[in-house]
Amino acid sequence: MIVNKNHYVLIMAGGIGSRFWPVSKKSFPKQFIDIMGTGESLIKQTYTRFTHVVPTENIFIVTNLTYVSLVQEHIPEIDISRILCEPMAKNTAPCIALSNLHIAKNNPDAICLVAPSDHLISNEIAFIETAKRAMEFAAKSQSLVTLGITPTRPDTGYGYIQFNPKVNESGLFKVKTFTEKPTEDIAKTFVESGEFLWNAGIFVWSVKAIMKSIASHLPEIHQLFEAISIDSDDYTDQIENAYSLCQSISIDYGVLEKESEVFVVPSNFGWNDVGTWKSLWDVNNRNEQNNAVIGKHIHSYNTSDSLIFNTTQKPIVVNGLSNIVIVESDEVLLVMNKDKEQELRSIVNEIKDRYKGKYN
């Protein structure tokens, strides 16, 4: 397969995946978990997928300093020079500003695809074709591009991208608006209109174009990171200083929503951000009782429409339940109604406070 030496990928792997508590914790977040029971973590699957899109030496991973050893454990073939470290989490705009410095030094003509490390994609052939089309357009137009997912339901857990229905010669559409997670009524209106896509958080641009946009719309962040010298002996101190001073802001809100020339590729490649236990049940193979069973030593009787997830060697025995999530980790057993997952975040915060951070 022919790959373009100017094509790069940046995998963002700094999140903590708090909605997958108690399996996903601050010390071992979602991207390092074999969430589907396939034998591979999400970050390993993501890295392997991108080896079919760009040269392997053009794949960079940006993560928190505390997760570098985990990245190396899950992807031992990646050189340490391509694992970029953030001293603290400040959302995606600083993360991308830092990564731009390293990729631009490697290749100032780089066209970069930026993607999360913890999403699922079931149709990888369609994804690769879509990614390459977006990268070719970004190289030709110097525009910012995002991949939008054709919605299958009015989901309130996703952001939405409204596009101009007039297609350009490359089969892309100009973005009109970005909307963060809407109410159910608004989401229904969006889906029914046919002019909205889910925001997958996957972006494509030339490094030159995104650096120019950050300089225009986030000048403070641009100045802080432009002052960093990658080859300096005090590079680590410079990074820590920049992160301590910069605001925490997403690239969507800080740049994309303010840019006039942003394009979207309507996409269908089996995308799912697997953001909650219920969404994991949605995408997983289910048995004749409509249960998704992940892990060993699970025994269910008269139980239906449920997710049972076991990371331990302890047997789980379930009888006479329906629409339930059961998750067994080394430290915590979680049992909840599948439709009550939106309450999990507040419950976890209460548990962390009660046990003084022991289970975070």
Kindly state whether residue 166 falls inside one of the protein's structural domains: yes
**Is residue 106 domain-shared with residue 242, that is, in the same domain?**
yes
- Shared domain check, 189 and 115: yes
> Of 272, 301, 330, which one is at a domain's C-terminal end?
272
Residues 170 and 139 in one domain: yes
94 and 153, same domain (yes or no): yes
The verdict on residue 222 lying in a domain is yes
Q: Would you say 28 and 43 are in contact if contact means Cβ atoms under 8 Å apart?
A: no
Instruction: Tell me, yes or no, whether 46 lies in a domain.
Output: yes
In a domain, 359, yes or no: no
* 210 and 117 share one domain: yes
The domain that contains 55 carries what CATH number?
3.90.550.10
**64 and 85 Cβ atoms separated by less than 8 Å:** yes
Task: Note whether residue 173 is domain-resident.
Answer: yes
Q: Say whether both 90 and 24 belong to one domain.
A: yes
Report d(CA 191, CA 176) in Å as an integer. 15
Element (H, E) at 267: strand 262-267
Does one domain contain both 161 and 298? no
Strand partners, 281: none
* In a domain? residue 2: no
Q: How many domains does the chain have?
A: 2
Find the domain containing 202 and state its range: 7-272
The CA distance from 130 to 264, in Å, is 11
Residue after which a domain boundary falls, among 272, 302, 326 = 272
Residue 134, pLDDT score: 96
What is the predicted pLDDT for the residue at 341?
A: 85
| CA atoms of 111 and 276, how far apart (whole Å) | 32
pLDDT value of residue 2: 65
245 and 281 co-located in one domain: no
Q: Are residues 189 and 318 in the same domain?
A: no
Same domain, 73 and 24: yes
| 43 in the same domain as 151 | yes
CA distance linking residue 158 with residue 155, whole number of Å: 6
Q: Which residues of the chain have pLDDT under 50?
A: none
Structure confidence at residue 312 (pLDDT): 95
Q: What pLDDT is attached to residue 309? A: 97
Report the alpha-carbon distance of residue 51 to residue 55 in Å, rounded: 6
In whole angstroms, what is the distance from residue 248 CA to residue 299 CA?
Answer: 45
**Do residue 217 and residue 114 come from a single domain?**
yes
Q: How far apart are CA 137 and CA 147, in angstroms?
A: 12
**What is the pTM (predicted TM-score) of this model?**
0.94
Asked if residue 18 belongs to a domain, the reply is yes
Looking at the domain assignment, is residue 1 inside a domain?
Answer: no
Instruction: Tell me which H or E stretch contains 135.
Output: helix 124-141
Q: Which of 243, 272, 301 is the last residue of a domain?
A: 272
